[in-house]
Amino acid sequence: MLPTEIRNNIEKETEKFDSLMICADLTNRSKHLELKQKIRKDAKITGIGVTVYPPPITIYLNREPDNSEQKKTYVEHPFYIETSDGKKIDGLSVAIQAVDDWKKILQKYSMTWT
């Protein structure tokens, strides 16, 4: 368990990073179905998409396809976030930035990231 002073310092440190404030709002909103805690950036998910990329159709004459030739289908699930100041942000970008920002905070307090 961390000493209270360090926890409080880390909490103050997180307020310097937009990505962490956005994530805090999103997690509180999803947990309570509305933002009941302290509003930071008033972030909300405003759009979710699904894109399916099927493999091209290939017809093989007089031979069976080699497994290495088969392409796979993949799916993207982008989502978009909007904050109270009108910023519209890609959700994956926020998540990646939040991880980097947490690393900075933990390194500052000599904590390891695994």
Q: What angle do CA 72, 75, 80 make, to 5 degrees?
A: 160
Residues 4-37 have pLDDT tens digits of 999 999 999 999 999 999 998 888 877 766 656 6
Q: What does the block give as tokens for 98?
A: 């939040």
Q: 29 φ, ψ to 5°?
A: -65, -40
The SS3 assignment for 114 reads coil
User: Among the residues of 15-53, which ranges form H helices?
Assistant: 18-32
Q: What is the mean pLDDT of the chain?
A: 84
Residues 74-104 have pLDDT tens digits of 898 888 999 888 889 999 999 999 999 999 9
